[in-house]
Amino acid sequence: MPTNLNPISTTSAVVLTSTGSADKVGAAVPFGIYTGSNDFLNGAALQVNYVYKKLGGDVIDIELTPANVYSAYEEAVLEYSYIVNLHQSKNVLSDYMGNATGAFDHLGNIKSGSLSSSLGGTHVELKMPRMRFSIAKRIGEGLASLSGMGGTLRQYSASFSPATGQQDYDLQTIVETAADSGIDTAGNNVDFKDKIDNKRIIVTKVFYRSPRAMWRFYGYYGGIGVVGNGSTYGQFSDDSTFEVVPTWQNKLQAIMYEDSINTRTSNYSYEIVSNRLRLYPTPSDYSFGPSDRMFFRFYVDEDAWVENDQFKSGVNGINNMNTLPFANIPYANINSIGKQWIRKYALALCKEMLGQIRGKFTTVPIPGESVTLNHSELLSQAKEEQTELKDKLKEILKEMEYPELAKRDAEKAESATATLKNSPLPIFVG
């Protein structure tokens, strides 16, 4: 025999009120990020009436509490802050790359420390940084280091005494021996002491000092090969008068002179394999003395993850959006456009919560009948509205990225120029 159900109540015990209370918002929101703002508290309280009206609370019961609405409002503000900060991180990351970062608490706020003392309370997420092209500069520094034209990689110099008849020299051993003792074979202190640590050196240049006998022959007042005024060769005194020649001609003469020295003065050439230097030709025709040395420049390939001890290279700084010193956008800095988005998104979240609650029971029994609940429709609407709101916001922000704004400024400038071409010039009366 079937059992007759006699429910005590045919309606939910929880029904959303038509108004909220600002003094109860702080205790109801899960994170409490914005509870210090009276504007946020009032906005969350007013959201209750908005949800009540939009969901027909004056017609049917809404199985939500004001606390549900408060938490939805906070989530909507945080979601808006997240999307906007994500957009801004795309705008500024290249300019912030390598700058100082810090530690953040569970709310996303900067914790106490060196960064907090300089950036705490400044809300850098609301600022447009100076354009620095940080990534391009760091790429340029790397290329400059490898080419020996500056950069951030420290280069050292070392030397050794060539021996008559010896063609091969182990530069790695020469450097490691000098680094361990701090003194080279000439008795000079080296600046790369304790810097090698069995790491492979990278040799960038090998050179030597020509014999002093050649200095007179190819020197400042030398006789053969001295370029004078571009048309004659000879020896000139300080008070000689030269014709004025263009700078490019002087440059070409300098290049020719350098090539002449390398070609006509028995200049050495070399090859390096695994830091073993082989000289060509073998030093046999010239007897090297104890003071004669060959020099080479080198650097030690540094670990890219280790901070340079000579200067701050930004290894431990900002490297992606996760390390940007961005806090949650202050509620007071969200304008009317943002706040309307927040209201609509919070409403969609309330629909989702209501759908989840009503989905616990497909039907509710009443005397002699049952009521079918619309949880599936609510969940579907909530998901669609949330997705639409987020996509629309991202689309708008995409159009406002800094490169896009620069393009539009350029287009406006071109349009203004085209308009002015067709505009008659004003008549000036003298």
184-243 confidence digits (pLDDT tens): 888 889 988 888 888 889 898 888 765 554 444 444 444 444 444 444 445 555 555 556
The lowest-confidence range among 69-73, 125-129, 135-139, 317-321 is 135-139
Contact 174, 158 (CB under 8 A): yes
Burial of 221 (0-12, 13-18, 19+ CB in 10 A): exposed
Give the residue-averaged pLDDT of 19-25.
95
In the chain the first and final C-alpha atoms are separated, in Å, by 113
Q: What is the pTM of this model?
A: 0.67
pLDDT of residue 132: 74
- In the structure encoding, which two tokens stand for residue 282, read together? 């073998």
How far apart are alpha carbons 28 and 32 in whole angstroms? 8
CA 270, chain centre distance (Å): 42
Q: How far apart are CA 108 and CA 102, in angstroms?
A: 11
Q: Any idea which of 19-23, 163-167, 317-321, 362-366 has the lowest mean pLDDT? A: 362-366
Q: Which of 42, 132, 77 is nearest to 328 (CA)?
A: 77
pLDDT over threshold 60, residue 171: yes
> What mean pLDDT value characterizes the chain?
80
Average pLDDT over every residue of 15-35: 94
**Residue 205: per-residue pLDDT:** 86
Place of tokens 């509205």: 385
Q: Could you give the CA distance from residue 198 to residue 172 in angstroms, rounded to a whole number?
A: 9
- Work out the average pLDDT over 290-302: 81
Segment of 201-215, 320-334, 343-357 carrying the highest mean pLDDT: 343-357
Please give the structure tokens belonging to residue 341: 């988005």
